[in-house]
Amino acid sequence: MPPFLRSELPDLAAFSIVVRRRSFKAAAIELGITASALSHAIRRLEERLGTKLLNRTSRSVAPTPAGLRFAARLEAGFDEIGSALSEMDDVHAGAFGELRLNIPADASRLLVSPVLPSFLKLLPDMRFTVVVENRPVDMVAEGFDAGIRYGDTVPEDMIAVALTEPLEWVIVGSPTYLDRHGRPKRPDDLMQHSCLRLLLGDNSAFRWELGNGDAMIRIDVPGNCTISDTQSTIDAAADGLGLGYVLKRRADAELRDGRLEVVLPQWSSTGAGFHMYYPSRRQNHPALRHLIELIRAREGLPPLAR
């Protein structure tokens, strides 16, 4: 078989995306081409190799054994290309273009803001757009290069890289509120308190998760005030308006100076840490690795494997 030409690389990339997505439609959207054009590319590749790579029906697509082995080898090769791009020395104008990131407010406060000066100093001519919102988004459809989510909420078809260790969630209240209303001794006592309910990105109210593992319980707490923003919840709790359920790290300052205290500490809950996620190892933005490494270093995590 004659060696592959550079002009044939798009067909190889298209095949790899179809295998990862297990869908011609989803792969075509990611590539920005029609499903018909993608089908022609796969057929052209199969004819070139003289081997059937995919089993296709009207409802599903799956690689043949030969296709699966071929996809694994391609993935390793594309990873090498991605690593080479991330290690480029030229970080000046035009090398990286624009990086668009979608992140929740807690990740902005805890992870991105602290490393932003170093990141922008490293890449002074790159355009960096950060959209801070708590709603779930379709990254590809809305034009983002990457996003940050809790690890257990990252879509299965995305690449995810840990940015933090698992995170602790706690119930907090002000000493004034607790002196007036009493300190809960067990989870059931929360039903007699005013709680600052947590509004999720999909506009549903979060049931507080208390404890860990098999002992975890979920409680739909009472309260007339529902808030989607962590800092607003912390401020309201510190003002004595009720009990709040927050990431402990976000309330560290208020806990240290005594404006808040942890309630039911034995029922704190450990949840998934933050992860950076993006559609593809080989198509991720070349500046993204720099941002990930800066965050991981600040969080005490080891560098990514090369």
Q: What is the mean pLDDT of residues 287-296?
A: 94
Mean predicted confidence (pLDDT) in 209-233: 94
| 100-114, 189-203, 248-262, 281-295: range with lowest mean pLDDT | 281-295
Contact 296/302 with Cβ under 8 angstroms?
yes
- Going by pLDDT thresholds of 50, 70 and 90, the confidence category of residue 10 is confident
Tens digits of residue pLDDT in 116-133: 999 999 998 889 999 999
Average pLDDT over residues 65-83: 79
Instruction: Check whether 241 has a pLDDT greater than 50.
Output: yes
Query: What is the residue type of 276?
Result: M
131 pairs with which residues across the strands?
102
Token reading at 144: 């983002």
C-alpha 283: how far from chain center: 17
Residue 89 pLDDT: 47
Least confident stretch, 1-15, 32-46, 263-277, 286-300 = 1-15
- Over range 133-153, report the average pLDDT: 89
C-alpha torsion sign, points 121, 122, 123, 125: positive
Q: What is the 3-state secondary structure (H, E, C) of the chain?
A: CCCCCHHHHHHHHHHHHHHHHCCHHHHHHHHCCCHHHHHHHHHHHHHHHCCCCEEECCCCEEECHHHHHHHHHHHHHHHHHHHHHHCCCCCCCCCCCEEEEEECHHHHHHHHHHHHHHHHHHCCCCEEEEEECCCCCCCCCCCCCEEEEEHHHCCCCCEEEECCCCEEEEEEECHHHHHHHCCCCCHHHHHHCCEEEEECCCCCECCEEECCHHHCEEECCCCCEEECCHHHHHHHHHCCCCEEEEEHHHHHHHHHCCCCEEECHHHCEEECCEEEEECCCCCCCCCHHHHHHHHHHHCCCCCCCC
Please give the pLDDT value at position 56: 80
